[in-house]
């Protein structure tokens, strides 16, 4: 595999993995919001926009990568910074929906608060890991 092919493979794999994780987080939020179709639309519209922006950013940045002789990325194109910012914004949006639902359920005395606590804890962990990964861009 050439350097360029490896960069394409790495970029596309990263995009697919990130979008898959986000879809799982969306499904968890859909359950937390008791299957609200309005909430699903509110989450899916920005998700689709984000996925398009991220795919375009990868497509535009791959040809602009400058690699060293050892096949190490020497420079990061501006498009990848945009990719990271868009992803962090969407993750923040999902995290804010998670916290909002938890606060609402806690205030209303929801019966299964233990389950929501686990979902919020796991959502925080996912947000922290993805945020940490993306801030290294």
Query: What angle is formed at CA 115 by the lines to CA 45 and CA 101, rounded to 5 degrees?
Result: 40
pLDDT in tens, 111-135: 566 777 888 888 888 888 877 877 7
Q: What is the pLDDT of residues 72-117, one digit of tens each?
A: 766 778 888 899 899 999 999 999 998 898 888 888 876 566 777 8
Number of domains in the chain: 1
User: How far is the first Cα of the chain from the last one, in angstroms, to the nearest whole number?
Assistant: 24
pTM greater than the 0.95 cutoff: no
Better-predicted residue by pLDDT, 19 or 104: 19
- Is residue 136 pLDDT above 70, yes or no? no
The domain containing residue 88 runs over which residues?
A: 3-134
């Amino acid at each position: 595999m050439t350097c360029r092919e490896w960069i394409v493979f790495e970029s596309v794999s990263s995009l697919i993995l990130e979008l898959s994780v986000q879809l799982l987080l969306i499904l968890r939020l859909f359950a937390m919001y008791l299957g609200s179709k309005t909430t699903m639309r509110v989450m899916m519209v920005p998700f689709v926009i984000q996925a398009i922006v991220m795919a375009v950013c990868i497509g535009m940045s791959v040809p602009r990568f400058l690699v060293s002789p050892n096949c190490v990325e020497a420079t990061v194109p501006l498009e990848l910074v945009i990719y990271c910012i868009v992803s962090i914004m969407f993750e923040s949006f999902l995290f804010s929906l998670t916290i909002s639902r938890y606060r609402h359920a806690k205030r209303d005395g929801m019966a299964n608060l233990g389950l929501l606590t686990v979902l919020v804890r796991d959502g925080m962990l996912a947000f922290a890991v993805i945020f940490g990964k993306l801030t290294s861009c």
